[in-house]
A and B are shown apart, each in its own frame.
Chain A
């Protein structure tokens, strides 16, 4: 179809193509390139399946009570991670319950660790002020990683 383009048309299409590339900020491309660092991480990915800030039904209920609370659920094939955010704390539970360790990964590549008790509960303190991912390494060997979380 584009064989029918005359020189003017082709030149202007080329111009558009170059402009589209130049319009993309370099930090945006860097973000994409850096994501490859997560390639081949040997953990199962947990998808965000519920977010009270997006799901309207639940949000309507919560608004009347505590405006600052937010609930998130991440689900993988083997377990779910339920997070509850209030003004001062980030609490979570692994379901079905099991103990282990929880890693908090920042974009800068820093990792901190907190304990998960036998009934699967944990607290992240302080609440990260920049985007982070949680990696749950359960005592039974289950290894699950969430996507980026911004609170």
Chain B
């Protein structure tokens, strides 16, 4: 994923002033930034402060990211740093004199790395899904809806004979697997040194 040409292109275009590319970056990685904020258990007010700072920093760094495809790692690290700043300030105000241990405030690097991997996987799956024909999107959406929809309901809504739902499901998932967005995910997985530091550092 580090070398995903799509991500590189997005960063390059946004850096050149293309607003649509910026919107796509936010859509794609918003969930990553948000999930990390929730790990720090921030209030919505604090989450908004963190988000303002993180996206602002990214806007200003766009042209300077040396490896544009390392964007998710950069976003995760920056978000974690901003969260920690907010949480430290809040915690300090609440705890004056109580001598609580600050180590309780930290979210482990390994947890952040895990979020980056999940975010990459999720972004690739959503991109792959977006490449599917509408028919497949409708079918898969019903299959993953919560609560799950029965084959009878799917038949009623999409008009697919009940006996064909299984085979169509298999074909749609096969298309998902073969999509370029999903393929990019598999290739990058070996290059795991996500945040550019030493492994285990």
Per the bound structure, the CA–CA distance linking A2 and B118 in Å amounts to: 13
- Least CB distance, B126 to chain A, in whole angstroms: 5
Residue of A nearest to B37 (CB): A28
Specify which of A7, A13, A21, A28 lies most central, judged by the most chain B CB atoms within 10 Å of its CB.
A28
- Which listed residue (A20, A33, A35, A53) contacts B56, Cβ 8 A? A35
Q: Tell me the B110-155 residues at the A interface (CB within 8 Å).
A: 118-119, 121-123, 125-126, 129, 140-141, 143-144, 146
* Cβ contact within 8 Å between B17 and A39: yes
Q: Is the CB of B52 within 8 A of A54?
A: no
Q: A10-B173, A21-B122, A54-B89 are in contact. Are A39 and B96 (CB under 8 A)?
A: no
Say yes or no: B92 contacts A54, CB within 8 Å.
Answer: yes
Binding site for A on B (CB under 8 A): 14, 17, 19, 22-23, 26-27, 30-31, 33-35, 44, 47-49, 51-53, 55-60, 62, 85, 88-89, 92-93, 96, 118-119, 121-123, 125-126, 129, 140-141, 143-144, 146, 169-170, 173, 176-177, 182, 185-186, 189
> How long is the Cα–Cα vector from A59 to B97 in the complex, in angstroms?
12
| A-chain residues with CB within 8 Å of residue B122 when the two chains form the complex | 16-17, 20-21
Please indicate the chain B residues that have their CB under 8 angstroms from the CB of A150 in the complex: 49
| A141 interface residue (CB < 8 Å to B) | no
Question: Is A11 interfacial (CB-CB < 8 Å)?
Answer: yes
Q: Which residue of B26, B44, B49, B96 has the most chain A CB atoms within 10 A of its CB atom?
A: B26
Query: Which one, A1, A23, A54, contacts B34 given CB within 8 A?
Result: A23
List, sorted by A's number, 11 A–B pairs whose CB atoms are closer than 8 Å.
Answer: A2-B121, A12-B144, A17-B121, A17-B122, A17-B123, A28-B33, A31-B52, A33-B23, A33-B26, A35-B56, A148-B49
Count of A interface residues, CB-CB < 8 Å: 43
Residues of A within 8 A of B31 (CB): 20-21, 23-24
Whether A13 touches B34, Cβ cut-off 8 Å, given contacts A54-B85, A148-B49, is no
Mask for A1-42, Cβ within 8 A of B = 1, else 0? 111010100111111111111011101110111011011100
Dominant secondary structure at the A interface: helix
Q: Is the CB of B52 within 8 A of A107?
A: yes
How far apart sit A27 and B37, CA to CA, in the bound complex (Å)? 14
**Partner of B57 from A25, A131, A147 at Cβ < 8 Å:** A147
Contact, CB under 8 Å: B62 / A39:
yes
- Bound Cα distance A20, B126 (Å): 10
Whether the pair A51, B182 counts as a contact (CB closer than 8 A) is no
Query: Is the CB of A71 closer than 8 A to any CB of chain B?
Result: no
Give Cα A7 to B47, complex, Å: 36
